[in-house]
Structure formats: C-alpha cells, structure tokens
Amino acid sequence: MERFGQKLLAVRYRQSADGKKRYVTVELLVSTRESRQTRGHQIDPIVEIRTFTHEIALHDQLKANGAVWNGRTQTWKVRHSIIIKLGIAKKITQNSHT
C-alpha cells in the first residue's frame, strides 16, 4: 500500500460472509490539529469559588473574565486559569474538580 505514504494508518483484509470475495480496506489520516483535551480532562477546568458579598470589585473582575454566578450554590463558576490570574486560588470550594 505504498501509494498512500505517510497518511496510511491501517490496512485490513476481510472476506465476504460467503467467502467468495476478499476486501482490502485502509484507514487514512486526513487532517491533524492540536488537541484541546488531555487524558479526558479539560486543560483549563471550570471551578467554583465562594466570595463575600462585600467583594464587589472582585465580582466585577469575575464577570469581566466570564465567570457565571450560581445562585443556588452561592458560588461563581470560572475557569481555573482566571482564578490563578486573579490570585484567588484559596477561594476555590471543595466541590470543585481541579
């Protein structure tokens, strides 16, 4: 199968159910790109943080960085990288998956 070169990933040989025909199938690499996931986990997971009501400036920073308020749990959902950028890692709740 030299005609496919580096794009050839696999070759399979199969027979029809009655055994009268032989099929050759190939698996080709069509495109590649950088993966956004590592081992099934998000590279930049969303975590929950708890803030005090008087931390209005922090709330504004969180909103400006895409955080979402969850009124039911009284927590902010925000990307871990934003938490690190803002220097508030101590505010991550125990329920968060980092």
User: Is residue 50 a contact partner of residue 74, using CB atoms and an 8 Å limit?
Assistant: yes
What is the per-residue pLDDT across 26-76, written as a single tens digit (0 to 9) for each? 889 888 887 666 565 657 889 999 999 999 999 999 999 999 999 988 999
- Phi and psi at 38, nearest 5°, equal -125, 120
**List of E strands, the chain:** 8-15, 22-28, 37-38, 41-42, 46-49, 68-70, 75-79
The tokens for 51 are 């803030």
Please give the pLDDT value at position 61.
Answer: 94
Give the long-range contacts of residues 53-61, CB within 8 A, separation 24 or more: 58/86, 58/88, 61/86
Q: How far apart are CA 50 and CA 32, in angstroms?
A: 40
Domain map (residue ranges) of the chain: 2-31, 40-91
pTM exceeds cut of 0.75: no
